[in-house]
Structure formats: C-alpha cells, structure tokens
Amino acid sequence: MWASRALGTSLAPPDWLTVNLTLRCNLQCVMCTTCYDSPELTTREVLDLIDQAAAWGVGVFNPLGGEPFIRADLEAILSHAARRDMHTTLTTNGTLIRPERAAQIARIPTEKLHINVSLDGPEAAHDFVRGPGTYQRTMAGYRALRAADEAAGNPKRKVCANVILHQQNLADFVDFVAALGALGFDGVQVLN
C-alpha cells in the first residue's frame, strides 16, 4: 500500500469492497450522526460493483448503512456477493429482521455471510441508546436468524454482537458479555 501511494500507481488489486447501501435508518440512536436520507445506488449498480470487484479477485464485501435491512433488495445483494465468492459481514440493528427475511438470509451459505447485531447492553441500557422497545425487537431479529438457519439445516452461522461501551452499560459489561455467550452469540466486538 505504501509503495503504491509513493509511486502513484496500484501495485496490487484491492481485496475489499465497501459500499454504503443506504444512509437511512429506522432508529434514531443517541450517538449516531451518520443516518439521513441520501441518494442510493440502485440494485443493478450495486450488483455491477460486486461483479467488477469479483473480476479483480476481491474476496470481501462490506455493505454499510444506515440500516441495511431498510433496503428491500438486501437479500438479493448479499446472495449475489456470495455467488461471486465474496465473504460478507453485515452489521444490523436487527429490528427489521422478520422470519420471512431471515428465511431468505438462510439461503445464503453460512460461510459466506456473517452477521453483526448491534446490542448496547442489557435491555435498559440498549433502549436508552436506541429507543424504547428496541432491545426486544433486536433480540426477536436475532432469534429469527437462528431459527431460519436451523430450519434450513444450515451449520451455525457466525453472529456476533457489536457493543458500544458507554456510561449506561459499563457497570454491567462483563455480565452482559457472558449473557450474550449464553444466548449463542459467537463473539463480541467492543466499540467506544
């Protein structure tokens, strides 16, 4: 990378494709300043970017939001990336994952799609940050994902929790991480 920059030319193709699928979100989290209405790429444009990147041998697709599940075409995009042999980690607040959408996700090979669910502590701390009732809706989305993969006979899909560490959850953090493990989360990514 440093040599490429110094020479002003690429010495290696990219290995990662990041695309903002949307900046819209169904929540209004107290710490977030990145979600708003903004023009979005069409489905065809996103699929074309994936195709171009795959032609270069890019192996990782990183879809960003906003909340990606706002897009009705999300499952088609994720499926296309998997067909193009890309590995994807999708971050979501989980509140829009209904059983029918989880069933569509379950059709994507578990080794090609991992999911990070944003959870900011026990219910009171999470709801303080993300809004009343969001903890229960997030957990319902998580359970829908697990149930859909099980119903499809899939191996366990990697699902981790993204936890923003803050004053509302600091005292309960260690216990919360243990609770996430008991709930079947495969890991925790801590953000400040």
Structure letter (DSSP) for residue 14:
-
- State the pLDDT confidence band at 186, using cuts at 50, 70 and 90: very high
Sheet-wide strand order for 113-118: 16-20, 60-64, 87-92, 113-118, 159-164, 188-191
Q: What is the dihedral of CA 15, 23, 80, 89, to 10 degrees?
A: 60
Nearest to 110 by CA among 82, 144, 84: 82
**Per-residue pLDDT reduced to its tens digit, 42-69:** 999 999 999 999 999 999 999 999 999 9
- Confidence (pTM): 0.92
Mean of the pLDDT values across residues 105-122? 97
Q: Is the pLDDT of residue 10 over 80?
A: no
The answer to whether 91 and 162 have CB atoms below 8 angstroms apart is: yes
Task: Report pLDDT for 185.
Answer: 98
Task: Report pLDDT for 4.
Answer: 77
Task: Report pLDDT for 35.
Answer: 75
Structure letter (DSSP) for residue 17:
E
Mean of the pLDDT values across residues 38-45? 95
